[in-house]
Structure 1
């Protein structure tokens, strides 16, 4: 695939322009082969576009147009607008392309730390024993076989079986040698030439480096598992006769009904079929307050019943539960490698054949097997690959330990490179739980009457403003009166009947549509709106009763978090919301944001993110994971925080913050930037130390065994350098 100048993915680059014809190119078009017919048909349906030719090989479009009607700029604008529909597919395919592996490497996650520790212990003991006994007992075998059948050689072959298997597998599957192929060849050559102690040293030091990497990965998985503990091991299952049976979670069957009491942690996903309870689901959704759950509500494994008793019909168990899906997405960071990890793998794939070539050249010119063997023992790939994997895993572990779930190493890198920030308002920088601040009534109407009538109208609603009214009514000890059916006018208001009185509750537009005059309180209402309060109008038949002022308070630490992000170099901070313009303006001004857009649909937010990316920005989108799902998916990094709906947060966001603290975002960015700095340090150290070793070995100054010590010690050193990220303070301040 040809290399194109690294412009933003969706930006068009004008290649040539002639009267009535232009050729444009973009990186996105390299990945739209499957959509080519739709792309061409869509453009041909545009007026005055006469002919379109698409080449996915060069990523270009040749467009013939009516030059009497359209200018070159008009055509480019038309193409950009049409191309935007395919942007998500292009983004996903480019990321997949960048992460394609060119060499088949051994996965350290497939080996347990316990087994690797046992192997290190055996190799260390064997090396010490054979060093003392001068190679151990002799087997009395004559000829060349004596080298391969000594006790040190046999143990070396046993200990390196996984290396041999991986090395051969890579040659068979990808027809390319990997790091294990190189190590395998070095070990085998050392054994055949009677240098079994050198082979043992190579195996021991290599295993120590891999053990540290695997240990870091295991700690990462454990940290995530501890934070998202999936619940109790046993549950009470309700039998047909109503009796209870204590059953292991693994034996529970879908559609069985389980009983959950106060203090229990749910072990299944399911639907409440009886009872009610307040449930703490902060570990899943980030909601600070316990959430009321009644019949037909969905509940999730890993959440805790704070008060109440419920019976839950089991919908998902084990690995299918929401919390298990989070764990599985996060714990295997290697499935979502950072570009620098992919670069490390490709660097290794290219450098390994060079090691073989150097080894062969040294042997041809010097006829010295020792020097040739050193060329294979000393390589760059192990240190680069292991230290990068360790750094990413350590970063993800540290973040998870502090309540930040990063779903792969690629998002660590994207987080470090980001320079623009987009935020949703409701539920992200505000609490998402509006509270009544002001109640104004006309003469002759009491606050209690106004609240009770409004609550009757909003009783069945799930709208946040309705929640504010109902919460205020119940806390005041007022009674919600009996009422008739509730009619909803989406985006305007609701109406019902109370004792043959028709009650209207809604916005200003709803009042005007129903010819209800509210001039009596117009001055007071204007003041409420200037104060940033949302106004809810209440009327009886055609008589205006009063207005309720509701305010959604800003979350704690929002201003401090944005200030710290500014210090970290974010010079484009925007607010995108579906809320009313005057509400957005108030919040944007108070938070000193660069821009804001209001009354947006989800698709509008996604378009704004794409527009910013087309100008070269690396965008972080922070939202609640519901109406922000498209924007979260399009952003370079999507962060779900606040009162998120679980399934959407899992599928749409790249990072989930479980403790609802916006200060975690600058802390996570600092950690990711430190991680990238450590990886670059490791690259320099590995290349520098091993280059010196190769030169010294080539001129015969470095014996084989010390070449192995130098190479593997450098690997251990850079792995340790990466491992220190585990100990880095996840500070909530910018240093």
Structure 2
């Protein structure tokens, strides 16, 4: 590879290479191969201008030896398909301002210093790819398209001899395409950054050594290490070690998942405990999270209807540009006015600003712990009129707590709780864990004075204490199986507690009932405010559907302000109810967290899983709320509504500006070059504006909606 010294300081050198001879990937590959050489501190490449910036230790490697390293990079290395396949995409380091300055500098250098015949040859070479692209697009896609508009303007200007206008138009088109690519890539990168927020250093294992290296130097098949508190930067398989990994950014699970030998791990997840050594399977743009981002933008099925409408309108309006051009020529017979109408179209800005708006909204959601699997779901959540809630784990925490202890036979509450915890700790289940946790909070010590503990499925636990039979369990177990008398006092307690949704555990000792423990599932503190805020944001009805008892459902509905509730529901009942609401003309959001909610999440117009959801619920849901509970349901509703407002506003601005430019061109007020400048400036400006946050800071705060 031939390089020339452009600038040199001790330990720092800038080298230029022929960017027309070497591809961007070959230049990136060269940096990778040079970077690992002894004495190289750092190396960067600018593929736009064709230069390397190298920092090196002169005590280890001289300037000439460095140049010889580049010379040694022959086609054997730079044309190696396997090596090129592993090269990452070009890092986006150029700014929009830099592109503008550089493009203008090159354009005017050619204009001022190159002879006219050579300039004409260069213009022909530059125009031909656009003409061929237009022909291909017309034959394979819609006949009338923006590529054909651009090519027609260039051909007409060249044929009539106005090569200066043709050159200016071609320069502006190229500049616009580069800036559009940077803008859209930046929106991808912003979304990826929020989902990944990745470091650029990684611990690489080489033999018995562990080295801190740049992530860009890691290849598929390398062994890398991640420890507690670090983020996983690659997709791979655990080679050895064990750890607990938080996968909320990928799956929506809020609880860490155990990872050991043979288990897959994904970029963007976090090691919370332990140490794992991972064999790299995918890196950079090939990781799962980047594939998700690409899929989100490219899949028509996941695009918001507003985005698709903008893109379809943009495509349908192109033929009218040609019709307007023909009419302008027929009426004015002025070629400059005619070319001006070819330089302005509605398609570019609409096709660029719509996806950027959606990607930016998804990035904003990710920043707040909301994982959205496609733009269409943001639109759906914005326009829905019905929200159906699962109860346990959604409106409540699914973390039962002891609410009340009733005692009999002159026993104390502490003794009843101590004995109950002593039995329940052997067979953990939700109600049993609540008992054990309550005893722990009161610092009650429960020594093992009882004999062997026996668990009777769906009934309770039996043991002996001081040779006296001791039982804890359900009413059926205590009063029917154990024949403990069911008194009126106990019946009154049952009515009272079950009416407010509490579950009851009964404790007997030596054939007598000595205690009843009432256990409830606490309501999320933000549930009532969230439901109130959703109604203020246009939700017409809120419904709770649960497999729990009528009493429990009624209590939760009253506490949270739910409009309707349905109790004793099986998973298939939830699906039927969702479908019933949809058939009634409602657009339905279903929000849940459990395996039994997954079918209903799938059946709804939009399924949302809340923090703590099971993996299957998270995978089935269209939106995952990883933190902030139900408050993020309000936030995602706001976000969707603001996204729609922005997209409609952008469309109106695009139509207004470009209509003005077309009118200006027809009457001769705006010449072709100026029309192209204004058109590209408007397109870029609207696209950049689409990247702004939709919600002001803390706008998702429930208090602001009361």
TM-score normalized by structure 1? 0.70
Give the conservation status (yes or no) of the 8 Å contact 2:421–2:446.
no
2:596 corresponds to 1:627: yes
2:174 corresponds to 1:203: yes
The Cα offsets for residues 609-662 of structure 1, whole Å up to 9 and x where unpaired, read as 22111122122222115321112112222221121123530x211111222332
The Cα offsets for residues 132-186 of structure 1, whole Å up to 9 and x where unpaired, read as x3xx421546xxxx74x1x5665x549xx6x667645533433544433433443
Please, which of 90, 114, 120 is the counterpart of residue 137 of structure 1?
114
Query: d(CA) in 1 for partners of 2:170 and 2:366?
Result: 39
Pair 217,430 (structure 1): closer, same or farther in 2 beyond 3 Å: same
Give the conservation status (yes or no) of the 8 Å contact 1:532–1:586.
yes
| Deviation for aligned residue 1:294 | 11
SS in 1 for 2:690: helix
2:529 corresponds to 1:552: no
2:350 corresponds to 1:387: no
* Partner residue, 1:676: 644
| Deviation for aligned residue 1:529 | 3.2
5 Å matches for 1:371-450?
Answer: 371-443=337-409, 447-448=414-415
* Partner residue, 1:124: 104
2:552 corresponds to 1:586: no
5 Å matches for 1:348-363?
Answer: 348-363=314-329
Pair 589,318 (structure 1): closer, same or farther in 2 beyond 3 Å: farther
SS in 2 for 1:378: coil
2:608 corresponds to 1:639: yes
Give the conservation status (yes or no) of the 8 Å contact 1:506–1:538.
yes
Query: d(CA) in 2 for partners of 1:297 and 1:508?
Result: 46
Pair 285,199 (structure 1): closer, same or farther in 2 beyond 3 Å: closer
Give the conservation status (yes or no) of the 8 Å contact 2:225–2:277.
no
* Partner residue, 2:632: 664
SS in 1 for 2:700: coil
Give the conservation status (yes or no) of the 8 Å contact 2:196–2:249.
no
2:536 corresponds to 1:567: yes
Query: d(CA) in 1 for partners of 2:264 and 2:507?
Result: 35
Query: d(CA) in 2 for partners of 1:540 and 1:675?
Result: 63
Query: d(CA) in 2 for partners of 1:317 and 1:502?
Result: 58
Moved more, 398-407 or 442-451: 442-451
2:477 corresponds to 1:507: no
Query: d(CA) in 1 for partners of 2:454 and 2:209?
Result: 39
5 Å matches for 1:2-151?
Answer: 113-114=92-93, 117=96, 120-129=100-109, 133=112, 136-140=113-117, 147=120, 149=121, 151=122
Query: d(CA) in 2 for partners of 1:483 and 1:286?
Result: 41
TM-score normalized by structure 2? 0.72
Pair 708,284 (structure 1): closer, same or farther in 2 beyond 3 Å: closer
Give unmatched runs, 5+ long, in structure 2.
1-87
Query: d(CA) in 2 for partners of 1:220 and 1:114?
Result: 17
Moved more, 608-617 or 290-299: 290-299
2:335 corresponds to 1:369: yes
| Deviation for aligned residue 1:589 | 0.9
Query: d(CA) in 2 for partners of 1:259 and 1:445?
Result: 57
Give the conservation status (yes or no) of the 8 Å contact 1:416–1:669.
yes
Query: d(CA) in 2 for partners of 1:345 and 1:612?
Result: 31
Moved more, 175-184 or 548-557: 175-184
5 Å matches for 1:200-599?
Answer: 200-226=171-197, 233-234=202-203, 263=229, 309=274, 325=288, 328-330=291-293, 332-334=295-297, 335=299, 336-443=302-409, 447-448=414-415, 451-453=418-420, 456-457=423-424, 459-461=426-428, 463-475=429-441, 476=443, 477-479=445-447, 483-484=452-453, 486-489=455-458, 493-497=459-463, 504-514=471-481, 515-519=483-487, 521-539=490-508, 543-599=512-568
SS in 2 for 1:437: strand
Give the conservation status (yes or no) of the 8 Å contact 2:220–2:281.
no
Pair 233,684 (structure 1): closer, same or farther in 2 beyond 3 Å: same
Pair 283,197 (structure 1): closer, same or farther in 2 beyond 3 Å: closer
Query: d(CA) in 1 for partners of 2:241 and 2:453?
Result: 26
Query: d(CA) in 1 for partners of 2:695 and 2:239?
Result: 42
Query: d(CA) in 2 for partners of 1:272 and 1:110?
Result: 27
Please, which of 681, 691, 694 is the counterpart of residue 713 of structure 1?
681
* Partner residue, 1:39: none
| Deviation for aligned residue 1:382 | 0.9
Please, which of 570, 576, 582 is the counterpart of residue 601 of structure 1?
570
Please, which of 170, 183, 192 is the counterpart of residue 150 of structure 2?
183
Query: d(CA) in 2 for partners of 1:324 and 1:501?
Result: 62
| Deviation for aligned residue 1:221 | 1.8
Query: d(CA) in 2 for partners of 1:376 and 1:407?
Result: 38
The Cα offsets for residues 501-537 of structure 1, whole Å up to 9 and x where unpaired, read as 7765443344455244342633344433345432122
Give the conservation status (yes or no) of the 8 Å contact 1:473–1:479.
no
SS in 2 for 1:553: coil
Pair 483,295 (structure 1): closer, same or farther in 2 beyond 3 Å: farther
Query: d(CA) in 2 for partners of 1:111 and 1:341?
Result: 28
Give the conservation status (yes or no) of the 8 Å contact 1:387–1:682.
yes
